[in-house]
Structure 1
Amino acid sequence: MRIYVFKIPGVTEALKDQAPNCEHRYCVRHMYQNMSLKYKGDELRKLLWRAASTGNKKEFTSWMKKIEAADRKENPQHVTAFEWLGKIPPVHWARSHFFSSCLCDVIVNNMAESFNSYVLEARDMPIISMFDWIRRKLMVRMQEKRIGMEKYDGDICPNILTKIRKNQDLAGDCSTLYCGLKEYEVETGTEQYIVDLEKMVCTCGMFQLCGYPCAHACASIIQHRLNIDDFVSPCYKKEAYLRTYAYIIHGVPGESGYIKTDFEPLQPPPIVKAKGRPKKKRRKGVDENEGSLTRRGLTHTCYKCLQQGHNKKTCTKPTNPRSKFYKGADGEQGKKKKSQSLTLQQQTSIVVGT
């Protein structure tokens, strides 16, 4: 059974009490996975991601109206996907409602999944051995990251620099008009945005949310002939990175160096072996596996109806006359008919192959 954070109201209330200044976000992929149990369709999936990804509240409202219109066609008298999403505060899952103080636009829990994969080897260990394994792993990682950044010649961290360069490329499609001081009107496609380089904000919402220039801000900076590095938040600079990894995790002596106490040693809990093979990888959602795939990554073809996406066990369509399972009025199987309908080129290839 899979349980997601946004389905547990107790976690939300606990974070409000214990960490009131921390932003609490939900994973949009898990949200859609729950939503797809009742509201299906590729159109709703795309609209949900558009609504969650935009940094502008007006665009968010526009995408939500499209979600309502798309689902109203299918369920005119039922609770729509729009109403289902309305029960979840957008401050937890939509970029347009995030606090800009975090300088983070993440809307999925990939970081947690990555860490889960990172410590996969230690998950079956006893608790103390597991913690010690993780400690050693992180101890080495922190020093490797610090040494690697010390050799780096740039001022902005490489991953953020790659994103900025991508925005610079997108800035070529923007038309910029200078308003005065450090304010610009930027037109891209059918949309217009206002960029204020003095306040480091853009009406698209992504400049202030991420902490580095969006494509509209890059277009304004280029026209004003300014240095883009001056408009990047200090948290993305090399100096801040080195401060983060300046600390070390100290070494711990082996078991022979542990402090002896008069208490009785803790005994491990009884081991209850579950049935079947232990699961190592997480169970993927329905939206992550589109169609049945073979080991080679190819879509299955049903031997009964000769269509892709399923197999003969789950097939509900009529048998194709070209299928080997087809039996005509004469009782002959379709396999013989199929062999008789081979083209000359196919017959030649068979002879050559033999």
Structure 2
Amino acid sequence: MRKLGQEGLDSILWYKLNTWCKNYFEEYSKCDVVDNNITESFNAWIVPARYKTIMTMLEEIRVKMMKRIGELGEFSNTWITDISPMSLKIFQENIQKSMQCNLTWNVETGFEIKHHGITHTVDIVNRRRSCRSWQLRGIPCPHGVAALHYKNLEPIHYVANCYSKETYLSTYAHFIQPMNNMKMFPTSNNQIVKPPKIRKLPGRPGKVRRKEADEGRKTRKLSKKAVVMTCRKCGTQGHNKRGCPARNQVGSSQSTKPCSKARSTGPSQSSEPSSQTHVLLFVTPKCMLYV
């Protein structure tokens, strides 16, 4: 990344590489995702309940979680295989890519897979590949699929157990039990904790999460970031025609023109014809100057 001249590397490399760089991830998690948006998703999911009293907020969150766990538990009935739909989609994409691979077998467990001019090694017994894609995801990569097909093995049986229906059902095996209404709760003898006094803050309260400066915006308009303003009057960058210095100078020069002499030096008001020729020099909103 330094050789490519990427900016802001000092702030990124300050963190440990095994927390954000896929090449240093551990293999036991079987996940190659480098972001974690579960907290933001949960906060957006409970926005209507967050602005209510504590007991009402907890009750609404409990009901939402109870419905959510039940719906996700029933979702497994729509699966067409024993692995999850997202892992099945990745697995099918790897099958299509495996058709472009050329392999060489060492008559034991090792394979050399050549794909787009790059050669990788695959060990189907230990489920390992030199680029670590199979180890990180837990789904056979295109090279692993080609090696398994060469040995007449079914690649779907080599998908990690974390993507199976059995593991999915065990995750949602514990349900939240229903409860009576809050009016039917037993009365507590403890001291009542009163909430703090509400202090109204200036301005309208914000309900939308503040985004980072480099975070994308959901809009169809093109971003004007790093666009230099150009004046249409003088062609100079850094201002527009409303704040153009040339425009202000022209307006001030016209407003400071004397008009008293122009009126006194105008054509004669006598009835006698004059042989002098009057030339109009300039016209202002207040006077005209003749010579």
- Is TM-score (shorter-chain normalized) higher than 0.5? yes
Cross-structure match for 2:283: none
Q: Does 1:277 align with 2:211?
A: no
Q: What is the letter of the counterpart of residue 170 of structure 1?
A: K
Q: What is the letter of the counterpart of residue 128 of structure 1?
A: M
Cross-structure match for 1:8: none
Q: Does 1:230 align with 2:157?
A: yes
Distance 1:143 1:273 in 2: 40
Q: Which runs of 5+ in 1 are unaligned?
A: 1-66, 73-79, 301-308, 332-354
Cα distance, 1:149 vs structure 2: 1.0
Cross-structure match for 1:317: 230
Cα distance, 1:82 vs structure 2: 4.4
Q: Does 1:258 align with 2:185?
A: yes
Q: Is the 8 A contact 1:68 1:81 kept in 2?
A: no
Of 64, 81, 104, the residue aligned with 1:177 is 104
Q: Does 1:159 align with 2:72?
A: no
Residues 160 and 320 of structure 1: is their aligned pair in 2 closer, same or farther, counting only changes over 3 Å?
farther
Cα distance, 1:248 vs structure 2: 0.9
Q: Is the 8 A contact 1:174 1:216 kept in 2?
A: yes
Distance 1:81 1:289 in 2: 18
Q: What is the CA deviation profile of residues 248-303 of structure 1, one whole-angstrom value per residue up to 9, with x for unaligned ones?
A: 1011222222222222222122222322222222222233337xx9x6x1337xxx
Distance 1:84 1:268 in 2: 41
Residues 275 and 206 of structure 1: is their aligned pair in 2 closer, same or farther, counting only changes over 3 Å?
farther
Cα distance, 1:239 vs structure 2: 1.4
Cross-structure match for 1:71: 5
SS at structure 1 position matched to 2:222:
coil
- Alignment size in residue pairs: 242
Distance 2:12 2:183 in 1: 56
Q: What is the letter of the counterpart of residue 119 of structure 2?
A: Q
Q: Does 1:204 align with 2:117?
A: no
SS at structure 1 position matched to 2:99:
helix
Of 282, 286, 292, the residue aligned with 2:213 is 286
Q: Is the 8 A contact 1:194 1:202 kept in 2?
A: yes
Cross-structure match for 2:17: 90
Cross-structure match for 1:30: none
Q: Does 1:268 align with 2:195?
A: yes
Of 299, 304, 307, the residue aligned with 2:222 is 299
Q: What is the letter of the counterpart of residue 4 of structure 2?
A: A
SS at structure 2 position matched to 1:170:
helix
Distance 2:202 2:149 in 1: 63
Cα distance, 1:81 vs structure 2: 4.3
Cross-structure match for 1:28: none
Residues 158 and 310 of structure 1: is their aligned pair in 2 closer, same or farther, counting only changes over 3 Å?
closer
Q: Which runs of 5+ in 2 are unaligned?
A: 251-291
Q: Is the 8 A contact 2:121 2:130 kept in 1?
A: yes
Of 125, 136, 144, the residue aligned with 2:63 is 136
Matches within 5 A, 1:27-46: none
Distance 2:101 2:58 in 1: 51
Percent identity between the two aligned chains? 26
Q: Is the 8 A contact 2:82 2:165 kept in 1?
A: yes
Cα distance, 1:325 vs structure 2: 5.0
TM superposition outliers: structure 1 runs of 4+ over 4 Å? 80-84, 324-329
Q: What is the letter of the counterpart of residue 3 of structure 2?
A: A
Q: What is the letter of the counterpart of residue 56 of structure 2?
A: S
Distance 2:40 2:150 in 1: 41
Q: Is the 8 A contact 2:30 2:136 kept in 1?
A: yes
Residues 263 and 85 of structure 1: is their aligned pair in 2 closer, same or farther, counting only changes over 3 Å?
closer
SS at structure 2 position matched to 1:185:
strand
Cα distance, 1:136 vs structure 2: 0.9
Q: What is the CA deviation profile of residues 174-197 of structure 1, one whole-angstrom value per residue up to 9, with x for unaligned ones?
A: 222222323211122242211111
TM-score, normalised by the number of residues in structure 1: 0.61
SS at structure 2 position matched to 1:187:
strand
Cα distance, 1:310 vs structure 2: 6.3
Cross-structure match for 1:303: none
Residues 267 and 319 of structure 1: is their aligned pair in 2 closer, same or farther, counting only changes over 3 Å?
same
RMSD of the TM alignment (CA)?
3.0
Distance 1:105 1:252 in 2: 39
Cα distance, 1:237 vs structure 2: 0.8
Cα distance, 1:156 vs structure 2: 0.9
Cα distance, 1:321 vs structure 2: 8.1
Distance 1:320 1:221 in 2: 70
SS at structure 2 position matched to 1:186:
strand
Cross-structure match for 1:241: 168
Residues 120 and 218 of structure 1: is their aligned pair in 2 closer, same or farther, counting only changes over 3 Å?
farther
Distance 1:218 1:138 in 2: 39
Q: Is the 8 A contact 2:121 2:129 kept in 1?
A: yes
